[in-house]
Chains A and B, each alone.
Chain A
Amino acid sequence: MNGPATPSPSSTTATQPPAGDPGRVAIHRLNNTEYDNTVRDLLGTSAAPATSFLAEEGLHFDNTASALGMTTSQFSGYFQAASDLLDEALAKPELRARFLSCVPASGSDPCARTIIQSFGKLMYRRPLATDEVERALQVFAADFARVSDGTRAIGQALRAMLASPSFLYRVELDADPRSPVSHALSAYELASRLSYLHYGSMPDAQLFADADSGALLEPLKLEATVDRLLADPKAFGFVESFAGQWLDVRKLYVHSTVSQIFPTYTPALADAMMTEAYQWFQEFLQRDRPLSEWFTADFNYVNGTLAQHYGFPAPQNPDQFSQVSVTSDQRQGFLGLASFLTHTSVPSRTSPTARGAWVLSELLCSPPPPPPPDVPRLDESADPTTMEAVGALNVRERLEQHRQQGSTCAGCHSTFDPMGLGLERYDGIGRYREAYPNGDAIDPQGQMPDGSTFAGPQELGVLIGKDPRFTACVESQLYTYALGREVEDFDGATLQGVHDKWQARGLTLRNLMKEVVLSSAFRFRRGEPE
């Protein structure tokens, strides 16, 4: 098996051990999405077998290696899927042509070796070692003796490989697994890190070629590769996965509302909200908008449904999403996106607490502690059937009451409630409003814990955008996702270095992607002393 690649003379700078600790990523099982994407790209199938696998748990993100365990039920799913996938591939000429370059006529036909070597490289995402080829050939030969059919016997060998750890896990090897000395990843290992980051799938042909030549180890080539991969339509996999999880867009899959209160909240509207969130992120990623515009950018992506929801003029083609800039709508920046405003609300109304706590946790990476026991529900004095009915207290007043119930509540709530209250001009599904349903005017002013004041959501956005925790938080979110591991204490220096270089290049998502990919933590690893 290939060990860490030997650096070519020109790439010494690329593979010199870095000063800091790059850490190590656990052997990384493909998660359900990565599995489906990988078999799609490898075999040409559209079967998506992982949709019937057991639901699995992520840690922060669903690609965190340390959280991806293995149980018998899960392995049983992989084993069955491998069998079904090869059955499908053998039955469809256009699929089997991907690996069946020849048909072995006997158990010792060299054709089998050719197939196992060439297709095996795609499966294991690296060239196979001699002993690996030999063992796979034994499976082939034994099966040929059983079924006397070269095609089926190849299917049997490939099916066994498709449920092997070298396929199911992304493996990165240390020359000495017990040594804490850092070393460069091999070019193939790096190709996998890049492709799973950008595509959530196996390396494409160009990545394989750049790994074969070792060119991938060059920093300039790496940078160019980030641009190349981002330009591929498959990079939308990154948008859906990273933004879907970081910004909790996926929560809209299961969010529900009280239909009597929000009759317009339909699956079509939720779908439009999600699409807008992805397009919005995509604009920052692909069109290099600086992150300083995250809270102030005055554009939205709408189709007919969402335009109506926002009170925008109907677009020319209501079935398609287009970018619009409506400056008179009291809505700008990320905090004006309906997806965010909706998934942080409860089914009947806004929750200023949840909105504020979400901004604190996900955009500033400063999660508040969980609530203590015996927390009373907020609404005890409210009218039982219609929220915020005439005469009832509005949310701000009831929160005020709650905070006065004890200093334990007030201490925490004062860190996130002001942000949520500053967004009260958007209702529980993100529509702009000036008054509560009970007729009370909405006061969007507030004061942040540091004493700075804001007059409304726009100023609030500006304040949050200036918080140095924001770009540091975006960096740490992407760093976590790109590496597939949690940030550790020793990452501090690396993160600081990435941040400095990112700032120097310009604070765009693409530049962040490049600096993370160029960081020592992405290109190097180490063993662990036992």
Chain B
Amino acid sequence: MNPKTWLTRRNVLRGFGVSLALPWLETLAVPEVQAQSAPALKRYLLMYFPCGVAQAYWKPKGSGAGSAWSLSALLEPLLAHKQSLQVISNGGQEALYNAGENPNPSHSLYCAPSFSCTVPDPKLPKLGGPTSDQILAQHIGQGSTFKSLQLGCSTMNSNPDGRHPSITRSISWAGSDLPLYKEVNPQKVFDTLVAQLSPSGSMSADAVAAAELRKQRDLSALDFIAQETTSLSAKLSKSDRARLDQFLTSVRELEQRAKSQGSTMTGSGKTYTRPTFSASYTERKPGSVLMTEAADYNRNDHAEVMNDLITMAFETNLSNVITHMLDDARSEYHYKFLKQRTFSGTTSVENDVPLSTVQQGDLLGYHGLSHDGDNNNGFATVNHWFVQKFASLLDRLQKSTEADGKPLLDNTLVLFMSGMQGSSHRLTKLPIVLASGGKTFKADYHNDFSEQVPLANIHLTLLQKGFGVDLPQLGYSSGTVDGLLV
């Protein structure tokens, strides 16, 4: 039998019906990294959204804990999760803006640099340092098959503001010049994850043998490729050797995955279903002019499926560090599937009309809307949708439980933020929300700092205090922010 017939992942699924029953992870424990001061947090998710928020409807009322604060109109979708939230007001990156070459503020500067806290090269794909999630992945990602995952929902290429596009489209960088491109296709994410899992139920002897043969052939090919890479590398200059090092690292990582394929879990448990649609950058479809997205594409479904996949990756322990871009930094995506909301005070109402993307004669994508003022209902309507997707993810992380019966969120830190303030395009007063079990970081809390808190210090605090990462500094950071801690 040709192993291929068994091994395309689609066939794996066909063989087991539409959905795949996957075991639960009672037998699996995430390796304890630093047992002594044992921070409670095991997982990290960064959920990024671009262009900031309509500030008029963002800031919570009151400050402090519990009943001392209440949600704003834009945060209203999070009502059920208020007890897990810490809203940070007055975080910013003034230090970055004033740094070095005195860059013009731009979307690209407020994207990846919001997580490396460095000033990127004006031209080259060089960020200046790794992003905080990648530093964390080095610490807590080692025990999982995918040290980190990069996901996103953007399907249109957006304007990169003159800087290298990677800086506006990748928020995870493994090093100064190593952007980790995000995967936007839910089916690919699912297939990649599922390949590592062993289906429940018994497999025929043929299928087992075919899988083993395939694994042996993959490993043989990968071993050859690694040898070729090493042999070639010896003939190259220093900078080219560094390029091939990236290549070799990728080969080794695939080798590891091949070795652990299908062996991750045993036992009984959960069912995951392959997403029914795929998504990709529209610009890349060859041979046809695509004026609009595919007729059956729905951004809301896309975001919901990505939330499912994030939850799946956490539940299966396949990855503990995930970054997710709800959209690219200067996205002109038309959120025309949304209904226009009208905001006032601490609430908003949905009108039975589509989001008015034509304003003052201009057809506005999201970025265009963001320029239309901090009290612009169109801008706020899209912000509100981002918050809804954050809330729907928290629903999942609350509902899904660990072996001990506690919600996944108890051991997870979710950082929901944008690197830009809002309509003014400044990088002060950034919208930043933490969601967690409240054991390390304050929860049900509005942290309204009177002076600007450097964003680099916030990231440093999350890594040091939340995950026990022994990191003295991140970018321009000057210390930790103890006010975030319980």
**Interface residues of A, Cβ cutoff 8 Å to B:** 1, 24, 26-27, 29, 32, 48, 51-52, 54-59, 66-67, 69-76, 79, 82-83, 87, 131-132, 135-136, 138-139, 142-143, 146-147, 156, 159-161, 163-166, 168, 171, 173-174, 177-178, 250, 252-258, 260-261, 266-267, 270-271, 274, 346-349, 367, 369-375, 377, 379-380, 382-388, 486, 527-528, 530
Contacts and interface: CB of A to CB of B under 8 A. Distances in A.
Contacts of B165: 57-58
Contacts of B253: 72
Contact of B362 (A72, A177, A253, A348): A348
Interface string B336-368: 000000000000000000000011111100000
Given A48-B286, A256-B291, A384-B361, A527 B104 contact: no
A177 B237 contact: yes
Interface in B135-180: 150, 156-157, 161-162, 164-166, 169, 174, 177-180
A32 B280 CA distance: 14
21 contacts: A26-B240, A55-B281, A67-B164, A69-B125, A70-B246, A75-B254, A76-B250, A79-B222, A87-B2, A160-B225, A166-B228, A173-B236, A177-B236, A270-B291, A369-B104, A370-B162, A373-B425, A377-B362, A377-B371, A388-B361, A528-B237
A171 B224 CA distance: 18
Interface in B239-263: 239-240, 243-244, 246-247, 249-251, 253-254
A32 B355 CA distance: 36
- Which residue among A67, A131, A349 has the maximum number of chain B CB atoms within 10 Å of its CB? A67
B232 interface: yes
Interface stretch (B46-54, B59-67, B213-221): B213-221
Contact of A386 (B247, B361, B363): B361
B270 interface: no
Contacts of A69: 125, 177-179, 243, 246
Contacts of A1: 235
A71 B228 contact: no
B131 interface: no
A348 B238 contact: no
Contacts of A166: 228, 232
B217 A146 contact: yes
Contact of A55 (B220, B284, B372): B284
A386 B213 CA distance: 66
A237 to B, nearest CB: 12
Mostly, the A contact residues are loop
B433 to A, nearest CB: 24
Contacts of B371: 375, 377
Contact of A374 (B166, B178, B424): B424
Contacts of A142: 220
Given A136-B224, A143-B220, A252-B289, A57 B361 contact: no
Contacts of B43: none
A71 B180 contact: yes
Given A177-B236, A267-B289, A347-B362, A52 B243 contact: no
A374 B425 contact: yes
A87 B156 contact: no
Contact of A371 (B4, B104, B124, B222): B104
A164 B228 contact: yes
The 5 closest A-B pairs by CB, nearest first: A387-B361, A75-B250, A347-B363, A177-B237, A160-B221
A165 B217 contact: no
Given A51-B284, A377-B372, 18 more contacts: A26-B239, A29-B243, A59-B124, A69-B179, A73-B183, A79-B218, A132-B228, A135-B228, A146-B217, A164-B229, A253-B283, A254-B283, A256-B292, A270-B291, A349-B362, A373-B424, A527-B237, A528-B237
B31 interface: no
B267 interface: no
Interface in B169-201: 169, 174, 177-185, 188, 192
A88 to B, nearest CB: 10
Interface in B352-398: 358-363, 371-372
Contact of A59 (B125, B178, B183): B125
B125 A530 contact: no
B204 interface: no
Contacts of A266: 291
Contact of B179 (A57, A156, A271): A57
A132 B135 CA distance: 37
A348 B289 contact: no
B27 interface: no
A382 B361 contact: yes
B105 interface: yes
Contact of A75 (B106, B178, B224, B247): B247
Contacts of A76: 192, 250, 254
Contacts of B286: 48, 51
Chain B, interface size: which category?
A: 35 or more
Contacts of A174: 237
Contacts of B452: none
A274 B289 contact: yes
A139 B221 contact: yes
A530 B237 contact: yes
Contacts of A27: 236, 240, 243-244
Contacts of B104: 369-373
A203 B209 CA distance: 41
A385 B109 CA distance: 34
Interface string B265-301: 0000000000000001111111011111000000000
B164 A75 contact: no
Contacts of A384: 359-361
B250 A74 contact: yes
Contacts of B217: 143, 146, 156
B291 A163 contact: no
Contact of B361 (A135, A168, A271, A379): A379
Contact of A51 (B183, B218, B236, B285): B285
B54 to A, nearest CB: 15
B426 interface: yes
Contact of A160 (B166, B220, B232, B363): B220
B182 to A, nearest CB: 8
Contacts of B291: 255-256, 266-267, 270
Given A51-B286, A59-B123, A254-B282, A373 B250 contact: no
A69 to B, nearest CB: 6
B202 interface: no
A2 to B, nearest CB: 11
B83 to A, nearest CB: 37
B227 interface: yes
B291 to A, nearest CB: 5
B36 interface: no
B231 interface: yes
Contact of B283 (A250, A371, A377, A380): A250
B157 A254 contact: yes
A139 B220 contact: yes
A57 B165 CA distance: 6
Given A71-B180, A164-B224, A131 B424 contact: no
A168 B248 CA distance: 13
Given A76-B254, A156-B220, A258 B289 contact: no
A18 to B, nearest CB: 20
A130 to B, nearest CB: 12
B157 A70 contact: no
B66 to A, nearest CB: 37
Nearest to A179: B237
Contact of B106 (A48, A135, A370): A370
